[in-house]
Amino acid sequence: MLKTVLFLFLAVSLQAQNYAGTWLLGFDSTTGLPEYGGSTLSFQEDSLLVYGESRGLNFQETVTSMSDSLGNLQFYTNGVAVVNTAGDTLENGDNLTPSLYSDVYAQLGWAKPQTTLALPDPGDTTDTRYYLFHHRPAADSGDVAFVMSRVDYNLIDMTEGGGSGAVVSKNQLAIQDTFAFLEPRISAVRHGNGRDWWVMVPSDTAALYHQVLVSPEGIGAQQTQDAGFYQLGIDFNQNVFSPDGRYFIDHDFSQGTRIFDYDRCTGELSNMRHIFQTNNHIAYATGGGAAVSANSRYLYISAKRRIYQFDLTAENIAGSRIEVVELPEEGFQSPYTPYFYQMQLGIDGRIYINSLSGVDVLHVIESPDLPGVACNVNINAVKLPHWNFRSLPTFPNYRLYDLADSPCDTLGINRVYTDTEDLALRPAVRLFPNPTDAALTIELPTDPRRYLLTEIVDITGKTVLQMQTTGPTDRVFLDTSRLPAGIYFVRLHTETEVYAGQRLVIARNK
């Protein structure tokens, strides 16, 4: 596949379990038009590369891309076919969702978010076997092609098929019911033993949540819980577990957001809190997404032109709502209005947001661990090489392990998830004004680390400005007037570590 690296986006130091290391978006390249093609976000050890590539598989909304534990892309899917890094369909990797829709739109892929999900096989020690879950239509007739009646799983072995990968077990039943209208919203969280996985899918017209346990023994029996309310699933929703696995969020843009406590040992949901969307800007939005900050404290809900933050630790979660950004009516078209839609927490601790429209940008919440507008929503932060229509892969937190001191912490894994060490190593830094044309104030974190050097680096990683810090301080003042207009990044040094990632825009007033 042809690749063109567009720019380097400095991020944080990433550690093992980098299954979410590569994100694929965009269209196929068969039209020959420059606007159409694949876009890739590749999270490297100390950077995020964004580049375009010629790709034969098209994504509408359904997309899952799976890397190995070191971040090397293994396979990806649009809900119809599974393809390897060479762009070749895996052996037995076609016709994942047998239906009239799949037949007619085989080249386009499924147009629903959260309808596929990949997990490493808990019983695999070679880092080559994965489970891929996907929806399955109720029947082949056109009038019911969108009604999902089951979730299937596939077992993929990347050593099979002559080393190019193969689906060794295909379209096997995992969960059966009538699922949320148009989309089953598949999500997953690590079991409290630190090895296995819970896979969660909501029902359609009843307050039922279905789960299966993925273990070295395979896919367990379906478990169902009645959460005690009625729902009618609508399109354009998103479900997500908090990174620490304490909360499960079921977001429906028209009927509200349900927040549950979650027991990773038993898979039990409890203590439902319902945020009713009475504000017109939410209730009449045409799509929405949900994500939780790396420290598992702040829930973000998108509502077309607005993004709201909720404090999950507040006694009254609904009352903690803060509007953190509103998309202006003009000035951000790229080429169409980039309305806020689905969200995904990256392994760099940022939250990335796609759009309801066909655009060539992603939005970024730069510091989602911070309260209110300090979270810093950066509109059109990531420029994509090609247009993207609603596609954004969704991942569970692969870096969550055992639930320490719990009844199910019996395997001796003892790897504790901490948002500061695994997901959000970047300190919380504030830059203002940003954009700037001259004077820049850098507000340093109020944590125990002592920052000895502050640097500004350009998109190639070259240091263009720096200042030594000789004593305790909470702010650094820099003059950027001699730097060309463009995108830069702030890098902080302690005695033993380097932290990078805060994006700075220098703009010259005409």
Average pLDDT rounded to a whole number, residues 343-352: 93
* Cis peptide bond upstream of 393, omega within 30: no
Transcribe 394-412 into DSSP letters.
Answer: ----TT--B-TTSTT--S-
Of residues 96 and 319, more confidence is placed in 319
Window from 42-51, 155-164, 167-176 with minimum mean pLDDT = 42-51
Task: Please answer whether residues 390 and 356 qualify as being in contact, where contact means their C-beta atoms are separated by less than 8 angstroms.
Answer: yes
Tokens of 303: 């509502």
- Per mean pLDDT, which of 126-130, 236-240, 281-285 is the most reliable? 126-130
CATH architecture under which domain 3-422 falls: 7 Propeller (2.130)
Contact (CB, 8 A) for 14 and 71: yes
Please report, for residues 121, 122, 196, 220, 279, the alpha-carbon distance to residue 216 in angstroms, rounded to integers and kept in the order given. 7, 5, 8, 10, 46
> Structure pTM?
0.79
Distance between CA atoms of residues 241 and 261, nearest Å: 10
Strands, E assignment, 390-469? 430-432, 439-443, 453-457, 463-468
Q: What digits encode the pLDDT tens for the residues 323-340?
A: 999 999 888 889 899 999
| Greater model confidence, 107 or 92 | 92
For the domain 428-506, what is the CATH code?
2.60.40.10
pLDDT at 279: 47
State CA 380 to chain mean position distance: 17
pLDDT for the residue numbered 215: 97
Residue, of 191 and 276, whose pLDDT is higher: 191
Residues 394-423, mean pLDDT to the nearest whole number? 77
Is 175:267 a contact under the CB 8 Å cutoff? no
Phi, psi dihedrals of residue 249, rounded to the nearest 5°: -115, 125
Domain boundaries in the chain? 3-422, 428-506
pLDDT for 183: 59
